[in-house]
């Protein structure tokens, strides 16, 4: 009886105490990056359900969205779906083909009362046909979630944070273009956009990070933090990832990738061999810490 | 004594086919209109306008329009079927293109060919004949 009373007292004290001090580690319900990559690339499945072999068909992408929605809700955030249609690249194709159809998934981590601007973190979740897409781009999704989990723990956020998972990057960046349209339509005040694509390969072990098409302001911030953390970086321009959709619309943007332009990148891209066991999780963790540090500094300003 | 009327007299199935094809293309035009592309809707609505304005069985413009629309529908279906055949032997990875050429898409293409032929025949009806619809 005495034990029960002590236990209840402790439980009550903990419920009082936690909201005041905040949690000191990753939220207990948060999924790990290893689990994210494993589930999205089909190395694991939830319950008795079949494992994903790719994230290409509408059914496969729907299953992937169900997982990601769950992970957002585990963080106490509302997962919002943006269903869109998008015209074909050339108007003449409209005669033969229907428009693109897809679904972006996003959630918002609100800032303080004074927060006005949004920092957008984005990664695409689709993959090429018959490709498990572990590195391209389950690692990008895992990076985005890893950063979000850490930022949930921050007490002071001077900016709102938006996590968006794009559909149909592999099909002419359609998902991110549709999301840009949404941002413009809803008049979201955007501070900056950070996209992550392929962050799971580091064969030479130097931990190098590619900064794709960075705006001068973001480049300076990322380079300063990289120097402090002793992470080698280099800048590329003219990539073909989601950050291009934002760049075209004059947003402050940066794309974070493994050293693709220098050839230190997965040789299994867009093939059935882009599997869970090829992912370098040490590198993914290091990049997650780096990006978390950068984004923390931005949203605390 | 009751007389048996020919099936095509009881049901204007040729006209039904024509309007099904027009409505499906108006639907397609509307879809693209909401995505900022208007040209399909303009073309189809112009065709509907001209067909409605000239709708008399012996009107040469009406017959020509029907023949043209029928040829277009047949061509549309045939091109899609040829593309489907090519993709069967030489698969491509572009999912957006591939998903149009599943069995349902091919059935749709075949339907377009059949309806196109019916509409074409409708426009080809001899204007001097009184026995044919």
Whether complex ipTM tops 0.85: no
| CA distances to A61, A278, A293 from A64, in Å | 5, 20, 28
Q: Return the SS3 of A186.
A: helix
Q: Measure the CA–CA gap between A8 and A17, rounded to whole angstroms.
A: 14
Give the number of A-B residue pairs with CB atoms closer than 8 Å: 44
Q: Residues with Cβ < 8 Å from A157, sequence gap 6 or more?
A: A109, A110, A111, A112, A115, A151, A299, A300
Q: Which of residues 104-133 of B touch A (CB under 8 A)?
A: none
Q: Return the SS3 of A206.
A: coil
What does the DSSP assignment read for A34-62? HHHHHHHTTSS-STTSPPPS-S-SHHHHH
Interface check for B81 against chain A (CB to CB < 8 A): the answer is no
- Asked if the bond preceding A137 is cis, omega within 30° of 0, the reply is yes
Query: Which of the 8 DSSP states describes residue A104?
Result: E
Q: Which of B125, B123, B118 is nearest to B67 (CA)?
A: B123
pLDDT in tens, chain A (301 residues): 566 666 666 655 554 444 443 344 455 557 899 999 999 999 988 777 778 899 999 999 999 999 999 999 999 999 999 999 999 988 999 999 999 999 999 999 999 888 999 999 999 999 998 899 999 999 999 999 999 999 999 888 999 999 999 999 998 899 999 999 999 999 999 999 999 999 999 999 999 999 999 999 999 999 999 999 999 999 999 888 899 999 999 999 999 999 999 999 999 999 999 999 999 999 999 999 999 999 999 998 8
- Beta-strand ranges (E) seen in chain A are 80-86, 100-109, 118-124, 160-166, 190-196, 209-212, 233-236, 253-257
Phi first, then psi, for residue A193 (nearest 5°) are -125, 130
Interface check for A297 against chain B (CB to CB < 8 A): the answer is no
Cβ contact A226:A259 at 8 Å: no
**CB A99 to CB B35 under 8 A?**
yes
Chain B contact probe: residue of A89, A94, A102, A131 with most B CBs at under 10 A: A94
Interface check for B93 against chain A (CB to CB < 8 A): the answer is yes
- CA of B44 to nearest chain A CA: how many angstroms apart? 12
Among the partner-chain residues A94, A100, A171, the one whose CB lies closest to the CB of B37 is A94
Interface check for B36 against chain A (CB to CB < 8 A): the answer is yes
Cβ contact A128:A270 at 8 Å: yes
**CB A96 to CB B80 under 8 A?**
yes
pLDDT for residue A40: 95
**CB A99 to CB B76 under 8 A?**
no
**CB A100 to CB B96 under 8 A?**
yes
Q: Return the SS3 of A299.
A: helix
Phi first, then psi, for residue A231 (nearest 5°) are -110, 125
- CA of A183 to nearest chain B CA: how many angstroms apart? 17
Q: Measure the CA–CA gap between A123 and A64, rounded to whole angstroms.
A: 13
Q: Measure the CA–CA gap between A256 and A140, rounded to whole angstroms.
A: 9
Q: Measure the CA–CA gap between A133 and A276, rounded to whole angstroms.
A: 8
pLDDT for residue B3: 55
- CA of B79 to nearest chain A CA: how many angstroms apart? 9
Q: Measure the CA–CA gap between A35 and A280, rounded to whole angstroms.
A: 14
**CB B36 to CB A94 under 8 A?**
no
Give the side-chain half-sphere CA count within 13 A for A134: 27
3-state secondary structure chain B: CCCCCCHHHHCCHHHHHHHHHHHHHHHHHHHHHCCCCCHHHHHHHHHHHHHHHCCCCCCHHHHHHHHHHHHHHHHHHHHHHHHHHHHHHCCCCCHHHHHHHCHHHHHHHHHHHHHHHHHHHHHHCCCCCCCCC
**CB B79 to CB A96 under 8 A?**
yes
- CA of A98 to nearest chain B CA: how many angstroms apart? 8
In percent, the amount of chain A with pLDDT more than 70 equals 90
Q: Which of B26, B61, B21, B27 is nearest to B45 (CA)?
A: B26
Nearest residue of chain A to residue B33 (CA atoms): A87
Interface check for B90 against chain A (CB to CB < 8 A): the answer is no
pLDDT for residue B123: 83
Q: Measure the CA–CA gap between A69 and A75, rounded to whole angstroms.
A: 10
This prediction has a pTM of: 0.83
> Which residues of chain B, if any, have pLDDT below 50?
1, 126, 128-133
- CA of A165 to nearest chain B CA: how many angstroms apart? 19
Q: For residue A284, count other CB atoms closer than 10 A to its CB.
A: 26
Question: For the sheet containing A118-124, what is the strand order?
Answer: A80-86, A100-109, A160-166, A118-124, A190-196, A253-257, A209-212, A233-236
């Amino acid at each position: 009886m005495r034990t029960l009373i002590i236990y209840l007292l402790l439980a009550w004290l903990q419920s009082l105490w936690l909201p005041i001090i905040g949690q000191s580690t990753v939220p207990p319900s948060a999924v790990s990056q290893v689990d994210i990559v494993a589930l999205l690339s089909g190395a694991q499945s939830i319950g008795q359900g079949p494992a994903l072999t790719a994230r290409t068909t509408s059914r496969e992408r729907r299953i992937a969205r169900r997982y990601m929605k769950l992970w957002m809700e585990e963080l106490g955030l509302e997962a919002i779906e943006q269903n869109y249609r998008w015209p074909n690249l050339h108007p003449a194709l409209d005669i033969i083909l229907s428009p693109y159809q897809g679904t972006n998934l996003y959630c918002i981590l609100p800032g303080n009362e004074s927060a006005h601007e949004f920092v957008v973190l984005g990664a695409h979740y689709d993959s090429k046909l018959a490709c498990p897409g572990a590195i391209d781009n389950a690692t990008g999704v895992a990076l985005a979630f890893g950063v979000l989990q850490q930022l949930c723990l921050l007490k002071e956020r001077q900016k709102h944070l938006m996590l968006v998972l794009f559909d149909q990057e592999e099909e002419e960046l359609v998902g991110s273009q549709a999301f840009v349209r949404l941002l413009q339509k809803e008049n979201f005040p955007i501070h900056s956009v950070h996209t992550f694509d392929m962050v799971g390969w580091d064969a030479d072990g130097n931990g190098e990070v590619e900064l794709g098409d960075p705006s001068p302001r973001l480049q300076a911030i990322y380079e300063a933090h990289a120097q402090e953390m002793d992470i080698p970086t280099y800048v590329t321009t003219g990539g073909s990832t989601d950050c291009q959709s934002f760049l075209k619309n004059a947003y402050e943007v940066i794309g974070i990738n493994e050293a693709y332009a220098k050839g230190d990148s997965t040789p299994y891209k867009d093939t059935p061999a882009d599997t869970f066991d090829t992912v370098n999780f040490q590198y993914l963790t290091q990049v997650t810490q780096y990006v978390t540090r950068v984004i923390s500094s931005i949203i605390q300003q | 004594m009751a007389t048996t009327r020919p099936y095509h007299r009881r049901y204007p199935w040729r006209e039904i086919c024509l309007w099904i094809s027009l409505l499906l293309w108006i639907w397609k035009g509307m879809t693209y209109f909401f995505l900022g592309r208007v040209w399909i809707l303009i073309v189809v609505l112009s065709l509907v306008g001209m067909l409605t304005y000239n709708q008399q069985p012996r009107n040469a413009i009406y017959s020509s329009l029907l023949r043209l629309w029928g040829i277009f529908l047949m061509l549309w279906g045939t091109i899609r079927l040829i593309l489907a055949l090519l993709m069967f032997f030489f698969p491509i990875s572009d999912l957006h293109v591939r998903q149009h050429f599943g069995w349902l898409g091919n059935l749709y293409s075949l339907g377009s060919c059949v309806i196109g032929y019916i509409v074409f025949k409708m426009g080809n009806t001899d204007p001097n004949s009184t026995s044919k619809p």
